[in-house]
A and B are shown apart, each in its own frame.
Chain A
Amino acid sequence: MQVEPSSRVELVCPAGSLPALRAAVDHGADAVYIGFRGETNARNFPGLNFSIDDAATGIEHAHLSGARVFIALNVYPMPKSWAAATAAVDAAVTVGADALILADPGLMKYAREHHPRLRLHLSVQGSATNWRAIEFYRRQFGIQRAVLPRVLSATQVERLIGRTPVEIEIFGFGSLCVMVEGRCALSSYATGHSPNMQGVCSPAQAVRWEETPEGRQSRLNGVLIDRYAPGEAAGYPTLCKGRFRVNDDVFHALEEPTALNALDVLPRLIAAGIRAVKVEGRQRSPAYVAQVTRVMRRALDHCLDGTSAAVPPTVTDALDHLAEGRTHTLGAYHRPWQ
C-alpha cells in the first residue's frame, strides 16, 4: 500500500528504531525517515537503524496511520560497498518505502534505471545549495524532492524555490551542521571515518574523556576537542563544535554547541512554498522523537492555520528544552554574522 503525499507541508521526523518510528507516527509525523543498519546511511551508529524486517513492520505501521516512510541511503558507496548499496536500494523498494533519500549520483542512476517509478529525494548530503545543481539531479534522475543544506539564508531559500520545479525540504529543528553537508572531511581528517564514506561524524569509538588538573577533557582520536571547567556542562565532542585557539583567543572557532530551530522563519518559508520540514535526530531516543514530533506538529499546524504568523513562545520554549546545549539558533536562515 502506498500513501499519497500530502498536499500540505509535510512534517518529516527521524527514527533510528522501530519504537522511535512508532513514536513519530503516533505523535503526528506526516513522514518518517529511517536507515538500514550498516554503512549505507549517514547515521551509522552502533545499535541504531533498521533490519529489513523491522523496516517492513515500521512501514506497515506508518501506512496504516496514513504516514509515509523514506529510507535514507545517503553515503557515497565505494567499490567494495557498491553491491551492498544497490542491494539496499532494492530492499528499500521491496519493503515498500515511499521514497529513497540518496546523495550519490551513481546510486541515483541505478535506482532510476532499476526502479523507474520510485520517488527519489536528493539527500542533504548531496550538497545542492543552488537551483542549477538541483536541476542536474532532476534532469538526470528525475528527483522529486531536494533537502537543502543548512547553509542557505531564508532569502536564498525563497529565491531557490522560485527557480525549481523540484519539491524543497528544509531542516526545521535539531543538531546543526555548520559545514555544507557532503562537503566536509573534518571527521576523516581526525579519525579516518567520515559522513561520506562510513556514514559517521566524530564517531563514538574515537572519543575519549579524561579528568585532568585543568578540567574534564574530550579527545577525538587523540585530538583535544574541548576542556571543561568544574561544573561546566560538557557536550559530545563533535569536531566542529570544540573550543580551539586562534591567535590568542580560545573559543568555538567554527560553531557553538547549539541546535537549529527554524520556527521563527517557518511562516515565511511556508509562504515561499517549501513542501516539507525535517527534524534531525535519527540517533535520538523514542521519547525525544515523541516530544519533538508533538511540538513541531503543533508549530506547523499553527503556521498552516494561517490565523497568525508567529509561532507562540511556549512552543519555542518547549523545543529549547530538547535542544543541544539548551539553546537554539536560526543558523544560516538568519545571519547575524553576515
Chain B
Amino acid sequence: MRPMLKLSVGPILYLWERGAVLRFYESLCEAPVDIVYLGEVVCSKRRLLQKEEWQSVAGMLRSAGKQVVISTLALIEAESELATLARIAESADTLVEANDYACVEYLAGHPFVAGPHLNVYNEATLNLLARHGAQRWVAPVELPLAIVAALAELRPPNLQVEMFAYGRLPLAFSARCFTARSQRRAKDDCEFICAAHPDGTTVYTRDGQPFLTLNGIQTQSAATQNLLPHLPKLRNAGVDVLRLSPQSRDFPEIVQAFRAAVLGDSSATLPSSFLPGGYCDGYLDGAAGIAHAANERPTLPASRALPAAAAASS
C-alpha cells in the first residue's frame, strides 16, 4: 500500500505585511500539514521577513514537527541575487528548493527539492537531477497527470513527487513588474505597491472574464487550481505530496478539507473561492489549464481541450 499523501504549504508568492506572515506561520504550527516552504520565489526586492525572523519561523515550524524547505528565486539576473542564492545554498542545515539551474549548480551533491520552474518533462532530466541530489520533484504546473504518473513510475528510488494542488497557478515570469506597470510606476520606484494586493491583481478580459493575475514580475492564473476532487487519481498516479499555495483568506479551511480528503473522506469539499475566477483543473487531463472539468465532466478524455469560455461559465 502506498504511504498516505503528505500536505505541503508552498512559499508565500505575494508581498504580505510582516504581521500577517508571522500569524500565518504561527497558525501552521497547529495545522495538519507536513512540509512548509519558506523564502522568496518571485521578487528579490521583497522582504517579507528579516533573515533572523525567517530563522526563528523555521525553528518554530520544526519544533512543531514540520519539515522546513527554503524556496529560491525563479528569475535570477543580478549578481546580488546570485550572492543571496549562494548564501542560502551554503547554509546547508535546511533543505533548499531550486527554481533555477544556477541553484542546482550551487547545490550539486547536497540534497535538494527540484522546484516547479526547473522544467522537468522527462525521465532523463529527472534522473539527472536525482543524481545531483534531488530528493523531491515538484512537477511543472502544465504537466498532465498522465505524464506525472509515467515519470513517477520510472523515478529513481527515494525520489518524492509533489504536485501543485491548490492555488492561483504560477504561469510566467518577466523582468518587468506588471503590478508597478499597471499603476504607471517604474520598477525601481514601486514603493512595494504589490503589498496592497495580498492575492495579486486580477486581470479581466474586455468581456469581463477573470483571466490572469498580476503578481509583480510573475503572472498567475485568475482561477484557483483545485485538485481536491481528484485525490484518488493523484494517489494512484504515485504522487506523494500535495502543495497548497498560500492565500490571504480561508487557508485553514482549505488545509482541513485536504486533510479530510487525504484521510479518505470523499465528501470533503471547499467553500466557493472568494477570489474572482472560480476553480480550475484543466491541466490535470492535458486540457487548457483554465478549464474546470471536475463538476460537469468527471471523465474528460485526455488531451482534449475544453473551450475556455465554457469553462469560465461553470
Q: Specify which of B100, B178, B211 is in contact with A223 (CB 8 Å cutoff).
A: B211
- 16 A-B pairs, CB-CB below 8 angstroms? A79-B150, A104-B122, A106-B125, A127-B101, A152-B175, A185-B289, A188-B283, A191-B288, A221-B308, A223-B205, A223-B309, A224-B207, A246-B214, A247-B201, A332-B176, A337-B180
Tell me which residues across on chain B come within 8 A of A129, comparing CB atoms.
75-77, 100
B290 pairs with A76, CB closer than 8 A: no
Contact A192:B282 (CB < 8 A) given known A133-B101, A227-B206: yes
A182 pairs with B201, CB closer than 8 A: no
Instruction: Identify which of residues 123-162 in chain A touch chain B, using a CB-to-CB cut-off of 8 Å.
Output: 127-133, 135-137, 139-140, 151-153, 156, 159
Contact A332:B175 (CB < 8 A) given known A78-B121, A130-B77: yes
Q: How far is the CB of A337 from chain B (nearest CB, A)?
A: 6
Q: Label chain A's interface by main secondary structure.
A: mixed
Contact A179:B219 (CB < 8 A) given known A79-B151, A338-B186: yes
Contact A244:B205 (CB < 8 A) given known A82-B122, A221-B305, A222-B307: yes
Tell me which residues across on chain B come within 8 A of A190, comparing CB atoms.
288-290, 308
Tell me which residues across on chain A come within 8 A of B140, comparing CB atoms.
185, 196
A-contacting residues of B (Cβ < 8 Å)? 74-79, 81-82, 85, 100-102, 104-106, 117, 119, 121-129, 140-143, 147, 150-151, 154, 169, 171-178, 180-182, 186-188, 201-209, 211-212, 214, 219, 221, 282-283, 286-291, 303, 305, 307-312
Tell me which residues across on chain B come within 8 A of A110, comparing CB atoms.
124
Q: Which residue of the partner chain B has the closest CB to A76?
A: B121
Contact A188:B142 (CB < 8 A) given known A180-B172, A223-B290, A253-B182: yes
A183 pairs with B173, CB closer than 8 A: yes
CA distance A183 to B126 in the complex (A): 17
CA distance A80 to B309 in the complex (A): 30
B176 pairs with A337, CB closer than 8 A: yes
Q: Does A8 contact B (CB under 8 A)?
A: no
Q: How far is the CB of A123 from chain B (nearest CB, A)?
A: 11
B102 pairs with A104, CB closer than 8 A: no
Q: Does A245 contact B (CB under 8 A)?
A: yes
Q: Which residue of the partner chain A has the closest CB to B188?
A: A338
Contact A179:B172 (CB < 8 A) given known A188-B142, A189-B290: yes
CA distance A246 to B75 in the complex (A): 24
Tell me which residues across on chain A come within 8 A of B208, comparing CB atoms.
245
Q: Specify which of A78, A103, A130, A247 is in contact with B76 (CB 8 Å cutoff).
A: A130
Q: Does A194 contact B (CB under 8 A)?
A: yes
A224 pairs with B209, CB closer than 8 A: yes
Q: Does A77 contact B (CB under 8 A)?
A: yes
Tell me which residues across on chain B come within 8 A of A243, comparing CB atoms.
206
B286 pairs with A192, CB closer than 8 A: yes
B-contacting residues of A (Cβ < 8 Å)? 76-80, 82, 103-107, 109-110, 127-133, 135-137, 139-140, 151-153, 156, 159, 178-180, 182-186, 188-194, 196-197, 206, 219, 221-227, 240, 242-247, 249-250, 253-254, 332, 335-338
Contact A188:B175 (CB < 8 A) given known A133-B105, A254-B219: no
Q: How far is the CB of A115 from chain B (nearest CB, A)?
A: 15
Q: How far is the CB of A203 from chain B (nearest CB, A)?
A: 10
Q: How far is the CB of B237 from chain A (nearest CB, A)?
A: 13
A244 pairs with B211, CB closer than 8 A: yes
Q: How far is the CB of B177 from chain A (nearest CB, A)?
A: 8
Contact A77:B121 (CB < 8 A) given known A192-B286, A221-B288, A246-B214: yes
Q: Which residue of the partner chain A has the closest CB to B104?
A: A136
Tell me which residues across on chain A come within 8 A of B182, comparing CB atoms.
246-247, 249, 253
CA distance A332 to B101 in the complex (A): 22
CA distance A253 to B204 in the complex (A): 10
Contact A254:B178 (CB < 8 A) given known A104-B122, A191-B288: yes
Q: Which residue of the partner chain B has the closest CB to A245?
A: B204
Q: Specify which of B119, B123, B290 is in contact with A182 (CB 8 Å cutoff).
A: B119
Known: A153-B175, A223-B209, A337-B187. 14 other contacts (CB 8 A): A80-B150, A131-B82, A179-B173, A183-B173, A184-B173, A185-B169, A186-B212, A188-B289, A197-B143, A222-B308, A223-B211, A224-B209, A244-B203, A337-B181
A79 pairs with B206, CB closer than 8 A: no
B205 pairs with A224, CB closer than 8 A: yes
A79 pairs with B75, CB closer than 8 A: no
Residue among B100, B124, B207 having the largest count of chain A Cβ atoms under 10 Å: B124
B219 pairs with A137, CB closer than 8 A: no
CA distance A152 to B77 in the complex (A): 7
Q: Which residue of the partner chain B has the closest CB to A85?
A: B122
Q: Specify which of A132, A153, A206 is in contact with B102 (CB 8 Å cutoff).
A: A132
Q: How far is the CB of A143 from chain B (nearest CB, A)?
A: 12
A245 pairs with B206, CB closer than 8 A: yes
Q: Specify which of A79, A106, A185, A224 is in contact with B128 (CB 8 Å cutoff).
A: A106
Tell me which residues across on chain B come within 8 A of A226, comparing CB atoms.
206
Q: How far is the CB of A49 from chain B (nearest CB, A)?
A: 21
Tell me which residues across on chain B come within 8 A of A183, comparing CB atoms.
74-75, 117, 119, 172-173
Q: How far is the CB of B210 from chain A (nearest CB, A)?
A: 10
CA distance A193 to B283 in the complex (A): 10
Tell me which residues across on chain B come within 8 A of A82, comparing CB atoms.
122-124
